[in-house]
Structure 1
């Protein structure tokens, strides 16, 4: 059934604005309107879905009185095809027909739902919110209002109801602004993630018996699961899609579970729990994984459970642990571990995971080890840079990691970086930190670049190898150039030694201006001629005291012939593992410092994905004449303003 956009808009307007304007204003804070509107929207939709068979279901359940609840649930599903039901003889219209004990009647009605969806009302905190409305003498009016809304499947298909609910959520979260980012991922970002995930799966998705599983370990309001399901069904109407999700926050869990239910989903599609502590789908892998985990949130509460799991070799957290102050790489590792292994038919698991920039280059041991594992296993298919200000809770740059356990042959051993940061349209009204959106026209260049792979425009896409991201940090130093100089400071420094005599001063003066490199020979010879001794320790002390920088001198070497490093001049050169060290130094270091020396044996290894640096394009500075011209114009305008003020 296809509903017109106008019909959906009117339904949404009635649900949101009529309720807010007439019944909630001055009772609850405007930003909390959604906490009341959404639960009643869900309740009315579920009521409409059950209405036609409700009387028969009640009689049928009554006949099984005394039987265990789970057996009754099975019997109802077998008989009526219902995955949930309600055995209360009340409904919203009946409750609204009288204005006495509305809160008690509503609670009795809610308690009549089957146990498998009872957690929705607990997570919505429905009883407490109903009491707030009752205490303000508004509950009866709200119940009566929602009882008049036709949200039946004959009026609104599952897809149509889903659109309405999404619109209601959007309007409600628009009031919350930045707080909405905790559990609501922008739909434009999700659509890009889904488009890329299924971009190369056209052939494998065809057929009447095709089945796919989709999983989100941070399910929030369920948007990722539903949008991915919708995209797959557009490609194949007969495809069997099974959704799986886990969510920690009660309010987000309630929204996600409700959103799936009102669109005909399974009651147990989303489970409530802490993914890091307890994977409620342990042992299962999935065809598609999508996740927008929290950024920069510490995992101290989960630390013991995570570290215990990490002790098991090959487990999801065994490859490395990030710093306690940011757990997003734990979710990245978890998502990678939930991917279906590669199959003989070319099928495998694919994931799209949102992150900020930290997982790209965090140099701590744990994040480095996790990246190493992903690179070693060739799991990273692509990384996409999104525009800033894309998410409700943060304006910082964000990225999508595309993981794949069975890359196409041409993509094997390679990683594609796509810069989509310039593909955006300004929102007419900001929502929290979200000021930009990616319309279909904005997303298309990114999707086409992904499909084109190594044929894509290098301005937006680069194809790299894992060794391009692995590096050696090579210590680079400059060899000193020294002349022998006799100074008062040098003499005073040497007088502190017991083997230095006053007679040595004349020897030092005789060597002033000579070659510093020759001091190991010239100083002992001169002291011997003067009838003095020159032990090895004194020779070294004299070389140190008489060392004076001199650019015209040859490169300095010590008594043993080792190069002497110039004090205050030492750098670390990062060299990709994919580059020859000598060629890199000849190109990047020697032209700017011909005296530079390096020691490969002291190199430290690591990895990073320097996304911004890879796509950086130098811009020539504006000509000074142009800048001067603008300054003169501005100065003239200021002079005119001052004159105008002084004339008055």
Structure 2
């Protein structure tokens, strides 16, 4: 297989050099590899397909897809009169181009869809203009390589070149992808997850439930499938585990991919492996805005969604942040009929996780399981009540999150940032219920002999086993921590302080009030000022009452706007002033709670609510595990410093965040006093020597 991939890479160097940059070879070589493989597979049934095509045409049948596919004996066909080898019979460049286009048009719809997404037709002008088309076809049809599933024999029936079965052809294709990704490392990480990371994901998804695998059908899904490598590795892993346990399983792959080329690669790879139905289960377009599998549930779900990437276009298609009603992203939880999981438009990674969770199967012998890669933003970004925090809350409070594994830095091709593997289960084992495990695997790796883009390390088989063993043990170690679910939750409370205003009823203030609020308000305030004097008055409540009495005497009806005008235009913040009362309750009408304070109104006991001062508004974060809850926290941390403060209970929100640094940070030991003293003495000696030199030179 290495010889085949080297030969194909040699074609690129021989034919495309000086016509394409090395990084753009893939635009031609990948679709041509697909075309040649499909051509070779279809060679034995070519005449049968052409005969069936002629019969269908003669009978005037328009819908020919099923009959031609059956005649080809594959999930695809080519009904043109040409084969790739047959195209080489002409030396006329224009005729070759026309015949080649007719040949491509003869493929079945699924293959044409692949070529359309490869945008291969866009390369034909360039190939023709540079006389590359003939040598390109000629070299792919070379007798030195065999991309057919049948062996090449000599005249005596002796095998010259072995056949390339579907699995080995898929491996050749993957090797080509790896080589092209090495040439385009700035793009690789977006669509290509390193094999070592995929192996770890597959093991953590399947091994915990391997002994529960039964004979039957299993559905695998990737909502950001890229080139499909994650799905095929997961399929191989599940099949091997089932075989080891003597089980017969049927596995079906499902995926969705937005990028046209990688969608084409994924679909082509499955066709090349002979998995025609699986190729039809790969959908294009955006998973977020155009779900390819609405309502369908899956057994195992693995994905590496884009992170740190805007999904604003998808958000607009979904109706905008306030208009999203998709049940994948607006859920019922904790008594809230519509809790939004919609994140900021600058990063949609948690939306992909919400999509995956919506597709987990309930019940069955094996609970649905998810493995998904995220960056650190998914752990802590977003305020309480925001989409990201709501998603974490929804996941953890439903007890779906089993573990998060911190991966080594520089594990991916296009980013060196911290990355994390989330493991979720629809139904946890008894030992894991109500718990979340954090595993720090950042030091478990082997350096690569040379960097692949930003990837400079890999997980060995031993490293993967260490992670799996830490997961299985579910124990407290230096690299593994286990916490109750509510460890990561908190209340975000809003602490209010009363608005304290002194009232200015001087002529200047009244003139300003008249200009801003009108004659009625100014006249009432002026009448009150005649009785109270110009001020300043440190009891705004008395001033407001006097203004209302004056307004009534002037025949003005009670008006809330008048109160607001007095506060806005005659009030000045004064920490020594009495708090401004917003509402008065009779004693016993309501129990004293946060926001209600005892007072005496007209000489009688009462409870009052104060106007909040937005300038003094503050927020506090209270852990859900706080002993005594919010009340105890408030009594200890707030009330002693601000006895007039209260909590706006309507503004209290629950949030969740996960901090690896908090649990795994290892502080460096402080230097001893002796070491510090020695450094200072050394610096002093050096300074004295320098001064001596300067003086001597002078």
Compute the TM-score of the two structures, normalised by the length of structure 1: 0.76
1:419 and 1:615 in contact (8 A); partners too:
yes
- What's the CA shift for 1:375? 2.4
Q: What is residue 115 of structure 2 aligned with on the other side? A: 121
| 1:243 and 2:292 aligned | no
Q: What is residue 390 of structure 2 aligned with on the other side? A: 369
Superposed CA RMSD: 4.3
| 1:401 and 2:422 aligned | yes
- What's the CA shift for 1:79? 5.2
Per-residue CA deviation, residues 490-526 of structure 1 (Å, 9 max, x unaligned), is: xxxx9x999xxxxxxxxxxxxxxxxxxxxxxxxxxxx
Within 5 Å, give how 1:90-129 maps onto structure 2.
90-101=82-93, 102-129=96-123
2:48 and 2:71 in contact (8 A); partners too:
no
Per-residue CA deviation, residues 435-471 of structure 1 (Å, 9 max, x unaligned), is: 3322222222111122222x3x422222223211111
- Alignment partners' CA distance in 1, 2:165 and 2:321: 44
Which of 326, 332, 343 is the aligned partner of 2:347?
Answer: 326
| 1:391 and 2:403 aligned | no
- Alignment partners' CA distance in 1, 2:191 and 2:59: 39
- Alignment partners' CA distance in 2, 1:367 and 1:356: 13
Per-residue CA deviation, residues 301-325 of structure 1 (Å, 9 max, x unaligned), is: 2223323898687811213211122
| 1:283 and 2:283 aligned | no
Within 5 Å, give how 1:449-460 maps onto structure 2.
449-453=470-474, 455=475, 457-460=476-479
| 1:151 and 2:147 aligned | yes
Q: What is residue 176 of structure 1 aligned with on the other side? A: 184
- What's the CA shift for 1:199? 1.4
When the two structures are aligned, how many residues end up with a matched partner?
569
1:391 and 1:433 in contact (8 A); partners too:
yes
- Alignment partners' CA distance in 1, 2:348 and 2:575: 51
Gaps of 5+ in 1: 1-7, 478-493, 499-534, 547-558, 561-567, 644-648
1:178 and 1:431 in contact (8 A); partners too:
no
- Alignment partners' CA distance in 1, 2:678 and 2:57: 91
Which of 626, 632, 657 is the aligned partner of 1:609?
Answer: 657
| 3-state secondary structure, aligned to 2:189 | helix
Distance 1:470 1:15, change over 3 A: same
Within 5 Å, give how 1:174-253 maps onto structure 2.
174-206=182-214, 209-237=215-243, 238-253=248-263
- What's the CA shift for 1:544? 6.3
| 1:429 and 2:412 aligned | no
| 1:26 and 2:18 aligned | yes
- Alignment partners' CA distance in 2, 1:268 and 1:580: 55
| 1:467 and 2:486 aligned | yes
- Alignment partners' CA distance in 2, 1:99 and 1:428: 47
Q: What is residue 132 of structure 1 aligned with on the other side? A: 126
- What's the CA shift for 1:183? 1.7
Q: What is residue 580 of structure 1 aligned with on the other side? A: 627
Within 5 Å, give how 1:1-16 maps onto structure 2.
8-16=1-9
Q: What is residue 309 of structure 2 aligned with on the other side? A: 297
- Alignment partners' CA distance in 1, 2:275 and 2:683: 64
Distance 1:607 1:79, change over 3 A: same
- Alignment partners' CA distance in 1, 2:631 and 2:436: 22
- Mean CA deviation greater in 385-394 or 68-77: 68-77
- Alignment partners' CA distance in 1, 2:466 and 2:428: 22
Distance 1:468 1:408, change over 3 A: same
- Alignment partners' CA distance in 1, 2:327 and 2:17: 51
Which of 241, 244, 262 is the aligned partner of 2:272?
Answer: 262
| 3-state secondary structure, aligned to 1:606 | strand
- Alignment partners' CA distance in 1, 2:103 and 2:375: 45
Compute the TM-score of the two structures, normalised by the length of structure 2: 0.71
- What's the CA shift for 1:116? 2.2
- Mean CA deviation greater in 459-468 or 282-291: 459-468
- What's the CA shift for 1:242? 0.6
| 3-state secondary structure, aligned to 1:236 | helix
| 1:350 and 2:343 aligned | no
- Alignment partners' CA distance in 2, 1:402 and 1:30: 38
- Alignment partners' CA distance in 1, 2:167 and 2:467: 27
1:34 and 1:173 in contact (8 A); partners too:
no
Distance 1:186 1:464, change over 3 A: same
Per-residue CA deviation, residues 399-443 of structure 1 (Å, 9 max, x unaligned), is: 222222122222223222222222222223323332332222222
1:293 and 1:354 in contact (8 A); partners too:
yes
| 3-state secondary structure, aligned to 2:421 | strand
- Alignment partners' CA distance in 2, 1:333 and 1:184: 22
Q: What is residue 86 of structure 1 aligned with on the other side? A: 78
- What's the CA shift for 1:624? 5.6
- What's the CA shift for 1:118? 0.7
Distance 1:158 1:297, change over 3 A: same
Gaps of 5+ in 2: 151-162, 332-339, 497-501, 507-536, 541-571, 578-598, 601-614, 694-698
- Alignment partners' CA distance in 2, 1:578 and 1:335: 30
Distance 1:55 1:399, change over 3 A: same
2:69 and 2:77 in contact (8 A); partners too:
no
1:317 and 1:330 in contact (8 A); partners too:
yes
- Alignment partners' CA distance in 2, 1:128 and 1:260: 24
- Alignment partners' CA distance in 2, 1:637 and 1:441: 51
1:472 and 1:604 in contact (8 A); partners too:
yes
- Alignment partners' CA distance in 2, 1:80 and 1:544: 88
1:381 and 1:407 in contact (8 A); partners too:
yes
- What's the CA shift for 1:72? 3.0
- Alignment partners' CA distance in 1, 2:676 and 2:642: 38
- Alignment partners' CA distance in 1, 2:460 and 2:445: 7
- Alignment partners' CA distance in 2, 1:631 and 1:352: 53
- Alignment partners' CA distance in 1, 2:60 and 2:306: 40
- Mean CA deviation greater in 128-137 or 247-256: 128-137
- Alignment partners' CA distance in 2, 1:634 and 1:75: 90
Distance 1:432 1:219, change over 3 A: same
- What's the CA shift for 1:392? 2.2
- Alignment partners' CA distance in 1, 2:216 and 2:198: 23
- Mean CA deviation greater in 220-229 or 308-317: 308-317
